[in-house]
A and B are shown apart, each in its own frame.
Chain A
Amino acid sequence: MSAGAWIMLIFGCVVLYGGLAWSLSRTGKKR
């Protein structure tokens, strides 16, 4: 795999799964 592909892999993981983790961390007691 090229360096560019590795960088985009990390970029995708950080944005998507980081975004998901961030939104889940904001979940409080609301329904």
Chain B
Amino acid sequence: MAEPRERWTSRTHFIMAAIGSAVGLGNIWRFPFVAYANGGGAFLIPYFVALLTAGIPLMMLEYGLGIKMQGAPPVAFSKVKKGFEWLGWWSILAAFVIITYYAIVMAWCWNYIYHSFTVAWGNDANAFFFSKVLQLSDGPGKLGGIPLGVFIGLLLTWIAVYLIIHKGVGRVGKVVMATVPLPLILIAILVVRGLTLPGAAEGVNFYLNPDFSKLLEPKVWLAAYGQVFFSLSLAMGIMIVYASYMPKDSDVTNNAFITSFANCGTSFFAGFAIFSTLGYLAQCLGCNVSEVAGAGPGLSFVTIPTAISMLPFGAGFFGVIFFITLLTLAIDSLFSLVEADVTAIMDKWGITRGKATFGMCLVGFLIGLVFASRGGLYWLDIVDHWINNYGLTAIGLVEVIVIGYVFGTRPFREFLNSVSEVKVGVWWDIMIKVVTPIILGVTLVISLYEEFSKAYEGYPTWALIVGGWAVVVGIIIVSLILGRSRSKKGVSQ
């Protein structure tokens, strides 16, 4: 007889775990720059519209699927309609690909926490990151060896992930009670430090000064929807899996509101830490804030360290604080991705949690070695671009079409309202059936057009085929195979 499904110890643990998953590196290294580049404070208007018309409705859909179907995405979609198990595997495999390179960023964080004690990057953070830490090769064709520091960081990351999730969601619930509030407290320290630096007001002004003319540009609205979509950990199966560990009569809609507002509130707050620091850096360098503003690894591992080294006192201390913030932001996003994959494996083949977790961590670590190599950054950039633009966007699009037109929004909404504290009206149906598919469809078409207009970041075509198209098409093929394969336990539990 099958064992009863694991459960979160409390609703708080579930919400904290979901917030921890949604709040990740993108909140600190993507949102502030996207806001600045798309109208500053005016960007908040399309951002809130996107949150209310796509982000929260989709979050309700994923929570609802998990709670109603009581299983990982393959189980959930096979219960929506027979023959749709592959759609669940598609999201699970996309999550798996993300796992393999997301862990690398954490490996860099471990290194930078160590180097922060001596502010080892000195006055040339750029050379330190690319030449010393990454030992970056000339191009994707030269993988080279693996820098020892990155290797150790990767190992530490995977050991941490294994220890957190191999005992089940009970332990995850306890861990997130520390790993979710901690980075918020650390961001608050960075905000206070940043705002008390000279030039901070100028930096924050760049972040929030509104340019309302930008609201007439469609790309600004698409950027807002993209930011909301990618920031909420949607289409990766995580929210479905986390919700599947809640009882079948649990609240859906209010949990979605809480998670989404907490996630976006964190992004908004983190922007003050980033832009106040950039304002200080610009003043130190005697340049405009726009010249130092950036996003992604360049911001976190080059620009901010440069600013940290120029602090009047406590550079090492604030360096440690900043990189522990990144590490703790990333860890619960990473183990939520691994948890999604582990749950899908357990549901399908009845493998014990311990074995599934160990296997997943080992494979994730081994594949991650490619991204840890000296040419790994190029591959990380390519795979990340493709999996976001053609993996997650496409999965989200198919997901809303399946729920909207195959299962039907009305019966789904009736379920949501039967269990939830906040009732949703017909507006939810419209968002799922019309607004979100149009936005995701348009985003997909524009991305495809741009892809064929010019080679992404000037990479050689063979690298884009291997790291981009082959990965995206490959996971679709594998998900179709897995969707048709027989399970030991049977997906319809």
**A interface residues, Cβ below 8 angstroms from B:** 1-2, 4-9, 11-13, 15-17, 19-20, 22-24, 26-28, 30-31
Q: Which 10 pairs across A and B sit closest by C-beta, in order of nearness?
A: A8-B41, A23-B257, A20-B261, A5-B208, A16-B265, A19-B261, A30-B251, A5-B209, A4-B210, A23-B258
Whether B42 contacts A8 by the Cβ 8 Å rule is yes
Q: Does B413 contact A (CB under 8 A)?
A: no
Given contacts A5-B41, A20-B262, contact A30 B48 (CB under 8 A): no
Contact sample, A vs B, 8 pairs, CB 8 Å cutoff: A1-B209, A8-B208, A17-B265, A20-B265, A23-B422, A27-B421, A31-B10, A31-B250
Chain B residues near A28 (CB-CB < 8 A)? 421
Pick the most buried of B42, B246, B247, B251: most chain A CB atoms within 10 A of its CB. B251
Whether B44 contacts A5 by the Cβ 8 Å rule is no
Q: Does B268 contact A (CB under 8 A)?
A: yes
Q: Does B75 contact A (CB under 8 A)?
A: no
Given contacts A26-B421, A28-B421, contact A5 B258 (CB under 8 A): no
CB interface residues, B 389-443, toward A, < 8 Å: 419-422
Whether A4 contacts B246 by the Cβ 8 Å rule is no
Q: Does B264 contact A (CB under 8 A)?
A: yes
Chain B residues near A27 (CB-CB < 8 A)? 254, 258, 421
CB interface residues, B 247-306, toward A, < 8 Å: 247, 249-251, 254, 257-258, 261-262, 264-265, 268
Chain A residues near B250 (CB-CB < 8 A)? 30-31
What is the distance, in angstroms, from B417's C-beta to the closest C-beta of chain A?
13
Whether B205 contacts A1 by the Cβ 8 Å rule is yes
Whether B201 contacts A7 by the Cβ 8 Å rule is no
Whether A11 contacts B41 by the Cβ 8 Å rule is yes
The residue in chain A whose Cβ has the minimal distance to the Cβ of B203 is: A1
What is the distance, in angstroms, from A22's C-beta to the closest C-beta of chain B?
8
Chain B residues near A30 (CB-CB < 8 A)? 11, 249-251, 419-421
Whether B48 contacts A7 by the Cβ 8 Å rule is no
Chain A residues near B262 (CB-CB < 8 A)? 20
Contact with A along B193-232 (1 / 0, CB 8 A): 0000000010011011110000000000000000000000
CA distance A19 to B44 in the complex (A): 14
Given contacts A12-B44, A19-B257, A23-B261, contact A4 B209 (CB under 8 A): yes
Chain B residues near A7 (CB-CB < 8 A)? 41, 210
CA distance A4 to B205 in the complex (A): 9
What is the distance, in angstroms, from A4's C-beta to the closest C-beta of chain B?
5
CA distance A1 to B48 in the complex (A): 23
CA distance A3 to B151 in the complex (A): 49
CA distance A23 to B218 in the complex (A): 30
Q: Does B40 contact A (CB under 8 A)?
A: yes
CA distance A5 to B205 in the complex (A): 6
Given contacts A5-B40, A12-B44, A30-B11, contact A23 B209 (CB under 8 A): no
**CB contact between A1 and one of B201, B264, B265, B422 (< 8 Å): that residue:** B201
The residue in chain A whose Cβ has the minimal distance to the Cβ of B41 is: A8
Chain B residues near A6 (CB-CB < 8 A)? 208
CA distance A22 to B205 in the complex (A): 28
Pick the most buried of B41, B207, B249: most chain A CB atoms within 10 A of its CB. B41
Name 20 extra pairs, CB < 8 A, besides A5-B204, A23-B261: A1-B201, A4-B209, A5-B209, A8-B40, A11-B44, A12-B44, A16-B261, A16-B264, A19-B261, A23-B257, A23-B422, A24-B258, A26-B257, A26-B422, A27-B258, A30-B249, A30-B250, A30-B419, A31-B10, A31-B251
Whether A8 contacts B421 by the Cβ 8 Å rule is no
Chain A residues near B420 (CB-CB < 8 A)? 30
Chain B residues near A4 (CB-CB < 8 A)? 41, 208-210
CA distance A23 to B42 in the complex (A): 24
Chain A residues near B208 (CB-CB < 8 A)? 1, 4-6, 8-9, 12
